[in-house]
Structure 1
């Protein structure tokens, strides 16, 4: 598990690419510049770790494209010590970026294989989420609500109502909504039943899995 000067240089190149693609938040760019993405990937993809592309990981899932991670994180507008719920831990890369930003991360993963792997792996890199949970992301995490931000890292055919209800007033939900292609959508909670909605173009995600048990 080495992070060399070469890797750091490649990360800086990646940050420069993200800047050209419109990412402006310095805190987000710094976090992307610090997280060793190559360690979250299969060794056969190491040469591609700092390209702005998604790549396969275990359980037929993917590690998200760095631009997508940066874009969603920027939309969240988090501050240190904010309480953030992540739906879809996956490889843990997005989790690590949030940890770098100093937020308290609660993350839910539906795939047992990924959950086990990532739960063991993240602490080894020094990234400690407040809670990593094996469960159904559609239900959110009522016991820990309300959250300053909720980020969904898989395509959702609809917006789960529990996620909206678990936001603080002023809190932000960033979720890709749609089937084959998703529209990146931001909900800002303005009141008990009032939400402001913004859309930010099309993305492609693996589907959000609902608990069928």
Structure 2
């Protein structure tokens, strides 16, 4: 039973090629383009979300505008991938560590390399918080080092685990539909509530990923 449930996250192969990963390119098609002078409803909603997130990241970030644009687009990219995974027959790419780690690891490595090369003294200063007792300084350095090293893992595992948990729960409940046809209405209601919950989780995970990334960049 468990093996059959987890196979929904396995990319199926055809002609020894995994075509499910093409879903990573679909956000480029879904992002609306400015073809008309009067924007459409989709374009207006997309612009509204972009402006709201840009203003919020501008308050969080103390860096350049290019930094804000990068994390804003990263948030929109993850959000579109998460929402597409709720559609039928579309591969859930964000549930794989290979996708989430490929986004978190380059960001973390870039910040660490820039910090230790360009701002070496500031990186050492962050290792020991202000007013730390002398006896606790070696322990604080160890704790801060471990926390910095596990940041890409926490970013990637958090999103993958939440995406897997939501899809597995919906799969478990949908399997009960075939066994208990008399409970159709109750299962349909639970699935609807779970779908709404999963949509909110998708938004939260995209927001958390980009917000934590921009907060990590503020420390450099």
Greater length-normalized contact order (CA 8 Å, ≥ 6 residues apart): 2
In terms of Rg, which structure is larger?
A: 2
TM-score, with structure 2 as normaliser: 0.28
Greater per-residue helix proportion: 2
More strand by share: 1
